[in-house]
Amino acid sequence: MKKRMLWILLLLPAALAAYYFYPSAPLPQGSVVDRLVVQKSKRKMEAYANGRLLKTYTIALGKNPEGHKQFEGDNRTPEGSYTINARNPNSGYHKNLGVSYPNESDLAHAQKLGRPAGGEIKIHGLRNGSAGYINKFHHFKDWTAGCIAVTNQEIDELYVAVKLDAIIEILP
């Protein structure tokens, strides 16, 4: 048993280094993503074109990821069907794609709670100035205020490929 643990301890740094430096396969050239499906519990986001799965991304979510976003400041990522409604090349997080949260139902629910619904839910890269060593390791912990985070390289390809008004389904 001690030999096995020793091998694990010796191989772990090499496995982490390989994970960090090994690039994921890019989206096919010229892809137009018309649908994104986020599976919060699996920390995965799938990109589709005409019903065909093109790529799966590993993501980080809001710091309080379980359940639907209730109000501004709850650090939850919303659940439901929304659209991609904006592109921002100059955000505080490398680049971002806007998610159409809140919808009428979200606004009504937050109003019942006497709280603002919040907004500014995005799919984004890493905070500007912090991406250096973090890269893929960012998704080992949920860290956003409710957004969906990917690496800078991944947001670069999504930024180009995801069409405005693409559907984004965010599942528990």
Q: Tell me the C-alpha distance between 60 and 141, whole Å.
A: 7
Tokens 């699996």 found at: 42
Tell me which residues are annotated as active site: 124, 147
Minimal CA–CA distance to 33: which of 65, 60, 69, 57?
Answer: 57
Sorted by sequence, the CB contacts under 8 Å of residue 4 that are 6+ apart come out as none
Number of H helices, E strands in the chain: 4, 8
- Beta strand ranges found along the chain (DSSP E): 33-39, 44-49, 52-58, 80-88, 96-99, 122-124, 148-149, 162-171
